[in-house]
Each structure stands twice: as structure tokens, then as C-alpha cells.
Amino acid sequence: MCFEAYFQESVSERREEQYRVRRCKVFFYPEDDTIQVVEPRISNTGMPQGTIIRRHRIAKPEPESHLFYTIDDFNVGKNFTAYGKTFRLVACDPFTANFLRKMGFRLGEPEPIPDDPYSVHRKAFNESIQPLRPYERMDKLRQFLDHDRHVLRFFCFWDDTESMYGDPREMILQYYLADDTIDIREVIPANSGRDGVPCFLRRQKLPRTLAPVPIPGTVTDRTLLNVFGHPQRGGRYILDSLKVSAIGISSAIQRVDCNS
């Protein structure tokens, strides 16, 4: 038999609270009249939790200390006292309710469990430190576990013909689904006279737009001159933006193909 219960415990070590309402489950075993009390574990309570009273027979308080608790003492709406704690039985599971009805007991009405002041304060505090996000928060760990080692590869070229001695340069753009990062590597043909360093853009999150570089001497919102502008202004490229027919990484880089 399983009952939902709670008991009130005084707190003298903290000035912020005077008592706590602790929820627990009371198990009664009709075969031997043993009782067990278990408190579900809740994080950041600062109190020991788990098994409060191990399974054994429990004597009633004075003046009936010579008697033990039996099934007649357990019903919804009754109090159960053990080791200085008074447990209030407020509800039970369907099996217990059906068992008590078959035994001829009239089942009591379920009662609400009063709010714990500390839990209410803790919940309000945790909500106050959360950032206000107008969008759904993305699960980075789930994204990494689902798309680790998944890479999209696009073949493109950089049209550098407008510069002196410039020519079209073949590139390979790779998009990493695990963390939404992008890198660009140059395909250097043999005997081209260029340095043999294929990394054109290191792996990083690529901003959609870049703010213009402020002229030295202008009023900025930073103490030091920021030659890169505000980071991440305008967002970054993500998977939904990488469509074969519509992408604008730069007006000078054009995509010509992608692998499947």
C-alpha cells in the first residue's frame, strides 16, 4: 500500500526560512504490518533525502506505545506519527484505494499538499536568473550527438579577377552540422606558384553581415578601437540557409556544386 504524504520540519539554522514542507511516500505492508517512508530526491534542498524510515514495525506514540500500527490506522486524511515526525496522508495510488474498499474501509477525500516556502522561493530565483529568450532554446548537446561527423561539402570559386593579377580560384566550403561552423579551403593546382596552404578560412561560425569598420577617432561604444565591428551582428549562417540555389556568403564567392 502506497500513500502520498508530507510532514513539516522546522528550520532553525537559516533566518530566511522557519520551516519546510517535505513530501514523501509511506509504504505499508499488510502481510507483516511493516512501514517504510521514502522521500523523493530533489536537487539543491540542502537536506538528506531518500529513505527516512526503513521498513519495520513501528509502535504508536504515548499513551499507546505498547501497540503497533496496523492497517486500521492508515487512510487518506489521517495522521501517522513516528520518531517525532507527524506525516499527513493526503492521497493514495489506485491499488491502495481498491484494496481499502475491499477491506470495508471508507476512503477519505484527497487533500492538496501545501506549498513549501523554500521551494517556491528557489523556483522564483531560478526563473529570475534565466535569460529572456523570445525563441526556443536549442539543445547544443543533442545537436552534437545527432550530427557529429556529418559535414556538408560545397564546391565554389572566388572571382578575384578584379584585382591585379587576379584570377578565379577554386574553393571547397564545408559546413559542420554538429556546431554550425564553416571552413573554406582552396584547391591549389600544381605549379600555380601559390603557397601550399589550403586553409582560406579557418573553421568558425560565419556571420551573415559585417558592420563597416569605424573610422579612427569616431565615437564608439568600446574603449579600444574594434576593427572587426560588433561580433555576430545580423546572425550567423545555419543549416536552413544553405540552399543550393540561394546563398550569399560573399558577392565574390560563388558556389558551383555540392556533393551528395
Same structural domain, 180 and 68: no
Degrees, nearest 5: CA angle 234-239-241: 55
Residue 78 lies in a domain: yes
pLDDT the model gives residue 254: 62
Residue 8 lies in a domain: yes
CA distance 3 to 26: 5
Same structural domain, 61 and 153: no
157, 183, 204 — which closes off a domain? 204
pLDDT the model gives residue 225: 53
Same structural domain, 72 and 155: no
Same structural domain, 100 and 63: yes
Same structural domain, 63 and 155: no
pLDDT the model gives residue 19: 85
Residue 11 lies in a domain: yes
91, 126, 161 — which closes off a domain? 126
189, 204, 219 — which closes off a domain? 204
Residue 22's domain comprises 2-126
Residue 237 lies in a domain: no
pLDDT the model gives residue 156: 93
The CATH code of the domain that includes 56 is 2.30.29.170
Same structural domain, 15 and 113: yes
> How many domains are there within the chain?
2
Residue 210 lies in a domain: no
Residue 225 lies in a domain: no
Same structural domain, 66 and 166: no
Same structural domain, 110 and 153: no
Same structural domain, 121 and 171: no
Same structural domain, 83 and 158: no
pLDDT the model gives residue 175: 95
Same structural domain, 49 and 101: yes
Which residues of the chain fall below pLDDT 50?
A: 245, 251
- What is the reported pTM? 0.49
pLDDT the model gives residue 96: 92
Residue 31 lies in a domain: yes
Amino acid present at 256:
V
pLDDT the model gives residue 68: 92
pLDDT the model gives residue 135: 59
Residue 47 lies in a domain: yes
